[in-house]
Amino acid sequence: MSEGLLQAIRYERGLLNILDQLRLPHESVYVPIKNTQDGFVAIKDMVVRGAPAIAIVAVLSLAIELDEAITKNSAVVESRDSVEQYVKEKLDYLVQSRPTAVNLSDSARKLSALVTDTNKSISGIDLANQVIAAAEKMMVDDVDDNKAIGAFGLEYLSSALDVKPSSDSPISVLTICNTGSLATAGYGTALGIVRSLFGAKVLKKCYACETRPYNQGSRLTAYELVHDNIPATLITDNMAASLLRSHPEIKAIIVGADRVARNGDTANKIGTYQLSVLAKHHGVKFMVAAPTTSIDLMTPSGDDIIIEERPHLELVRASGPVVENGKSNKDKIATVHLAAPGIEVWNPAFDVAPKDLIDAIITERGIALKDDSGNFHLENFKID
Ligand SMILES: CSC[C@H]1O[C@H](OP(=O)(O)O)[C@H](O)[C@@H]1O
């Protein structure tokens, strides 16, 4: 592969298209998002997923509506107050699409503060333009933040493991879910660190967990790794312990985050908690890669994080192209039932890795480490 940059979100003023991640890796199809309702459904149905990408699609879907209101000079932009009311209603609606990732409510909080705080004498159109500009900036900032996370992750591992760029003994890492270009505006968080390790020639191989039941690892992370020609191997989630035991060159497990509580407990894709336990047992570094938009100082610990439960059909069914004569036929998609009919199912989308099992939280503002008492001080990183 390797042609061009992967882009989950394509935006220019008045136009928003997102890559349909339900169809990856078999088809690369962009679908239009014309309003906040389209944005809400795309997020809920996981056409777009990944904590930062969800937030960006949500605010850009609002930007699309505001742009249309300006173009048509509709009642929405009649006055500053009408825009304030409209924006707040739409944000309240959008944040209900998925509960666990805090990036979405963080973006909503910032846009809500913008419309509340803006000068009372501003026109409706000017305020709508300010909201659009703020939403657009969130998308641009996300890519810069991810590159900074990549650089800090490289710095942390280089010093913690004493590996030098272009090292003779490069390291391997393990990751879960998809935290790359597809989960963000570009480059990625945990997968951004993998990209930076690869770029600095300190990466031997990235192992990727399949990440049942939605298979973000086998469908999306594998797609990105192949796209970028990064040496990689896919495993099923239940192979992780065996892999760490048999592959001592794996020195770190790097994961993303949907919400980092004030104390450092981190909600991430289901399966992350067991990896943090394994990391401790095998003496490998366990790193969380998260923009500061994923830090939630209002949530004291992981016990206070609401974990999204997804429909049981996502676990018992799988869809994909039919294989004919050994080849996938993407024009023929079939859904198969995997489990015994009638079985009860538990399908939490996330779990919480406790702070005690986390070595470092890598943000765009630097590397958060624990003090001698085992406490992260994330308030030093979250400044807005
Ligand atoms: C770049 S962090 C993305 C974060 O979002 C994922 O969840 P989902 O695919 O359900 O949206 C996962 O927990 C990742 O670490």
Alpha-carbon separation of residue 180 from 19, 146, 175, 215, 218 (angstroms): 14, 9, 11, 14, 13
Evaluate whether residue 357 is within a structural domain: yes
Evaluate whether residue 264 is within a structural domain: yes
Confirm or reject: Cβ of 302 under 6 Å from ligand 1. no
Domain boundaries, position 95: 9-141
Q: Where are the alpha helices (DSSP H) in the chain?
A: 36-44, 51-72, 80-94, 102-117, 124-161, 190-199, 222-227, 240-246, 272-282, 313-316
| Helices 80-94 and 124-161, packing angle to 10 deg | 40
CA pair distance 109, 103, nearest whole angstrom: 10
CA pair distance 48, 20, nearest whole angstrom: 7
Confirm or reject: Cβ of 177 under 6 Å from ligand 1. yes
| 227 and 274 assigned to the same domain | yes
Q: Please state the length of the chain.
A: 384
| 192 and 136 assigned to the same domain | no
| 227 and 360 assigned to the same domain | yes
Indicate which CATH number applies to the domain containing 226: 3.40.50.10470
Indicate which CATH number applies to the domain containing 113: 1.20.120.420
| 137 and 193 assigned to the same domain | no
Evaluate whether residue 113 is within a structural domain: yes
143-148 long-range Cβ contacts below 8 angstroms, 24+ apart: 143/184, 143/185, 143/186, 143/187, 144/364, 145/291, 145/292, 145/293, 145/364, 146/52, 146/184, 146/185, 146/186, 146/187, 146/188, 146/189, 146/192, 146/291, 146/364, 147/187, 147/192, 148/364, 148/365
User: Does the model's ipTM exceed the 0.85 cut?
Assistant: yes
| 235 and 354 assigned to the same domain | yes
Picking from 141, 165, 183, the residue at the C-terminal end of a domain is: 141
- Give residue 1's pLDDT: 45
Distance 159 CA to ligand 1 centre (A): 27
- pLDDT by position in tens, the chain (length 384): 445 668 999 999 999 999 999 999 999 999 999 999 999 999 999 999 999 999 999 999 999 999 999 999 999 999 999 999 999 999 999 999 998 889 999 999 999 999 999 988 999 999 999 999 999 999 999 999 999 999 999 999 999 998 877 767 799 999 999 999 999 999 999 999 999 999 999 999 999 999 999 999 999 999 999 999 999 999 999 999 999 999 999 999 999 999 999 999 999 999 999 999 999 999 999 999 999 999 999 999 999 999 999 999 999 998 889 999 999 898 898 999 999 999 999 999 999 999 999 999 999 999 999 999 999 999 999 877
Confirm or reject: Cβ of 266 under 6 Å from ligand 1. no
Burial class (CB in 10 A: 0-12, 13-18, 19+), 13: exposed
Alpha-carbon separation of residue 282 from 75, 266, 285 (angstroms): 61, 20, 9
Distance 49 CA to ligand 1 centre (A): 7
258 included as an active-site residue: yes
- Give residue 4's pLDDT: 62
| 219 and 251 assigned to the same domain | yes
Evaluate whether residue 2 is within a structural domain: no
Q: How many domains does the chain have?
A: 2
Alpha carbon 207 to its chain centroid, in Å, reads 18
Evaluate whether residue 191 is within a structural domain: yes
| Beta-bridge mates of residue 221 | none
Distance 11 CA to ligand 1 centre (A): 21
- Give residue 2's pLDDT: 44
Confirm or reject: Cβ of 215 under 6 Å from ligand 1. no
- Give residue 162's pLDDT: 86
Distance 123 CA to ligand 1 centre (A): 38
CB 267 within 8 A of CB 303: no
CA pair distance 298, 5, nearest whole angstrom: 36
| 20 and 160 assigned to the same domain | no
| 208 and 183 assigned to the same domain | yes
Closest CA to 162 of 251, 230, 46: 251
Catalytic residue among 38, 142, 228, 258, which? Answer: 258
| Substitution candidate for ligand 1 out of 9, 49, 286 with most atoms within 8 A of CB | 49
| 251 and 351 assigned to the same domain | yes
| 371 and 229 assigned to the same domain | yes
CA-267 nearest atom, ligand 1? 13
Q: What are the φ and ψ backbone dihedral angles of 332, each rounded to 5 degrees?
A: -120, 100
CA pair distance 195, 156, nearest whole angstrom: 14
Distance 313 CA to ligand 1 centre (A): 19
Evaluate whether residue 174 is within a structural domain: yes
Alpha-carbon separation of residue 60 from 15, 80, 128, 159, 367 (angstroms): 9, 20, 12, 39, 30
Q: What is the DSSP letter of 143?
A: H
| Nearest protein Cα to ligand 1, atom 13 | 269
Picking from 141, 163, 183, the residue at the C-terminal end of a domain is: 141
**Counts of helices then strands in the chain (DSSP H, E):** 10, 16
Report the C-alpha dihedral over residues 212, 351, 182, 159, rounded to 10 degrees.
-110
Evaluate whether residue 315 is within a structural domain: no
Picking from 117, 141, 165, the residue at the C-terminal end of a domain is: 141
| Nearest protein Cα to ligand 1, atom 4 | 50
Question: In the sheet where 259-261 sits, what is the strand order?
Answer: 295-296, 259-261, 266-269, 350-353
Evaluate whether residue 321 is within a structural domain: no
CB 47 within 8 A of CB 60: no
Distance 332 CA to ligand 1 centre (A): 28
| 67 and 206 assigned to the same domain | no
CA-101 nearest atom, ligand 1? 5
| 163 and 295 assigned to the same domain | yes
| Substitution candidate for ligand 1 out of 142, 221, 268 with most atoms within 8 A of CB | 268
